[in-house]
């Protein structure tokens, strides 16, 4: 059974304090790993897709990396507007998507 | 309009009511999904439609009845719900079949409260 585990469950940072979110996965046949951002009361918004180990993607203060067992979402010098829940999902060769529980990030000014 | 639109955004209903959630996508996709999001739980896939045909029903109780009249519209008909069905219901779409990259485009969700 495909499993996705995100840690920590919640993360509180001061503005400018860099950190990383983790997404560990166990799947049979990874086709892609996705990061989404979800603001309260809204639907998830796509951030990145990673397809193979060693791949990295960047967008503003966010950088996503992928290994054969996990993915990290690095946040450099975060701002309060980066506060949101970040969801990780794996997409398999069987065409199935499995989501993690998410990490809720709060950035204090 | 662009993207995925869901209505209503908020719905309060009694356990004996019948209501429907509506989803419309303007992205030219052929796959549409219903997800349930409850507090402290990961997104739960409920139904998948590809080219209007239901391809997945994730053991969802029959009090939830989906309908997909065409590739752009998806409904979720609700009847005799339970309080534990209160949640955010998310509609999503993606490219079809072999072109499916797995990337999902979500609507803003319908917040359902069952009294």
Tell me the per-residue pLDDT of A23-72, one tens digit each, with 9 for 90 and over: 999 998 899 999 999 999 899 999 999 999 999 999 999 999 999 999 99
Q: Which of A46-60, B4-18, B95-109 has the lowest mean pLDDT?
A: B95-109
Does A95 sit within 8 Å of B101, measured CB to CB?
Answer: no
Answer whether B95 touches A (CB < 8 Å). no
Distance from CA of A109 to the nearest CA of B (A): 26
Cα–Cα distances (Å) from B81 to B8, B30, B45, in that order, read 17, 29, 18
Measured CA to CA, the distance from residue A105 to residue B41 in angstroms comes to 16
Per-residue pLDDT, averaged over A4-10, amounts to 96
Helix (H, G, I), strand (E, B) or coil at B64: strand
Helix (H, G, I), strand (E, B) or coil at B90: strand
pLDDT at A50: 94
Asked if A22 contacts A68 with a C-beta cutoff of 8 angstroms, the reply is no
Give the other-Cβ count within 10 Å of A98's Cβ.
19
Q: Which of B41, B43, B101 has its CB closest to that of A49?
A: B101
* Max CA separation in chain B (angstroms): 42
């Amino acid at each position: 059974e495909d499993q996705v585990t995100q840690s920590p469950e919640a993360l509180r940072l001061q503005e400018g304090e860099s950190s990383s979110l983790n997404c560990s996965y166990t799947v049979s046949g990874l086709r892609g790993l996705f990061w989404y951002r979800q603001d309260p009361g809204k639907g998830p918004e796509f951030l990145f897709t990673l397809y193979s180990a060693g791949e990295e993607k960047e967008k503003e203060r966010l950088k996503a990396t992928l290994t054969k067992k996990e993915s990290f979402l690095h946040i450099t010098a975060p701002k309060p507007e980066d506060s949101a829940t970040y969801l990780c999902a794996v997409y398999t060769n069987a065409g199935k998507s499995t989501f993690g529980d998410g990490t809720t990030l709060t950035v204090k000014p | 309009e662009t993207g995925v639109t869901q209505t209503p955004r908020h719905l309060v209903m009694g356990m004996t009511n019948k209501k429907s959630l509506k989803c419309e996508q303007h992205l030219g996709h052929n796959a549409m999904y219903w997800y349930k999001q409850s507090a402290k739980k990961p997104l739960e896939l409920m139904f998948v439609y590809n080219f209007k045909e239901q391809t997945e029903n994730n053991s969802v109780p029959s009090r939830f009845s989906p309908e997909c009249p065409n590739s752009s519209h998806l409904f979720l008909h609700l009847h005799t719900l339970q309080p534990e069905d209160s949640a955010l219901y998310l509609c999503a779409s993606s490219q079809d079949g072999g072109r499916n990259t797995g990337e999902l485009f979500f609507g803003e969700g319908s917040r359902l409260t069952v009294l």
